[in-house]
Amino acid sequence: MKRYLIVLLAVMFMIPAAHAVTKAEDIATTIMLRGHACPGRTVSNISEREDASGNKTIQATCADGARYQVNVSADGRVTVQRLN
């Protein structure tokens, strides 16, 4: 009986930690952390490119229709610019 109670308590405390962040939420958060508005905290129409040097370019659309380009350099520097 004691073992059953310990297992039950362990399962109850592990369940809330299972929420994973989606790529769309991650990109929207990056846009907002760089000082731009992105209502809805998610994006759509995501397109990604990576050049031979390892630089990434991500374009995405926020819920209000605003389009942004997120540039991630090979050394990890992130910049965001509004496209429209």
* Position 65 in a domain: yes
Which domain CATH number covers 59?
3.10.450
43-50 β-sheet, strand order: 43-50, 56-62, 67-72, 78-82
* Position 5 in a domain: no
* Position 38 in a domain: yes
Are the CB atoms for 61 and 34 separated by under 8 Å?
no
Name 43's Cβ contacts closer than 8 Å, sequence gap at least 6. Answer: 24, 27, 28, 31, 60, 61, 62, 63, 68
- Over residues 4-41, the pLDDT tens digits come to 656 655 665 665 555 678 999 999 999 999 999 999 98
The model's pTM: 0.75
The number of distinct structural domains making up the chain is 1
- Over residues 45-83, the pLDDT tens digits come to 999 999 999 999 999 999 999 999 999 999 999 999 999
* Position 46 in a domain: yes
Residue with tokens 């310990």: 6
Are the CB atoms for 56 and 72 separated by under 8 Å?
yes
Q: Residue 60 is part of which domain span? A: 21-82
* Position 3 in a domain: no
* Position 31 in a domain: yes
